[in-house]
Amino acid sequence: MNENSNEEQSPAPPKNGRHVPSYWLLVVLGTLLLLAFFTQLIEDDLPSVVSQDSIGRSFDRFSEEKTMSHLNIITGDQPRVSGTPYHLQKTKDLKELVDRVARDALQSVHTDWQFASGDFWLSYTAPHANSYNVSNVAMLVGERYERTRLIGTSDDAIFCAVMVETLSLLSNRNDKLKHNVIFLFNGAEENALQGSHAFLQHPWFRSVTTVINGLRRHERQE
């Protein structure tokens, strides 16, 4: 009886294991602090945000804060699914935004809300005809667009906002532009480039010679 009690009360033999030396904890902590220090140095070296109040009515500097206000108007607070009433409402808001820029511009600025229907063949794994009924918002900066060559641009949501602010600066230059510039805000772009294909029907497209293709506008799909 006593022997069993002694066996039950005897401590278990120590397990052999490897312990991390304490100085390694200091090394890890020091490395993290060093990374944080260099990260802060890089952040401090970045250009400071130009506020909307600091530029006033000036058009000689790009304002990130003003661009953010454009982005809030363009995106709203709901998914902009192509064909939904909210998507239509945000397209109207975008059109009003670019119309306001056009009214305040020193340069000649033309805006257009294109509505187009069409179809084209897609040679995917499952080839099919892609039919659409979409709209695009387009702006042209310059004179006599029917007779001159154009430069086109397309986008995504943040790039839409950057385009609006760039347009605001570009259209308020005192010097005339050497070439006309089109800012194209594609609709239904994620539906296999329906917006881009629809722009082929636009009269401005016939004079386009150069395209700068930014990230496409994000439109959540069903």
pLDDT in tens, the chain (222 residues): 555 555 555 555 556 667 777 888 899 999 999 999 999 999 888 888 888 788 877 788 888 889 889 988 988 888 887 888 988 898 899 999 999 999 999 988 999 999 999 988 888 777 888 888 888 888 777 543 333 444 433 347 788 888 899 999 999 988 888 888 999 888 877 777 788 889 999 999 988 988 887 654 444 433
Helix axes 85-104, 64-75, angle to 10 degrees: 140
Q: Is 189 one of the annotated active-site residues of the chain?
A: yes
Which is catalytic among the residues 8, 64, 146, 189?
189
Residue 94: half-sphere exposure toward Cβ, Cα within 13 Å: 33
Helix axes 157-170, 85-104, angle to 10 degrees: 20
Distance, CA of 133 to CA of 70 (rounded, Å) = 26
209 and 182 Cβ atoms separated by less than 8 Å: no
* Domains located in the chain, CATH noted: 52-213 (3.40.630.10)
201 and 116 Cβ atoms separated by less than 8 Å: yes
58 and 50 Cβ atoms separated by less than 8 Å: no
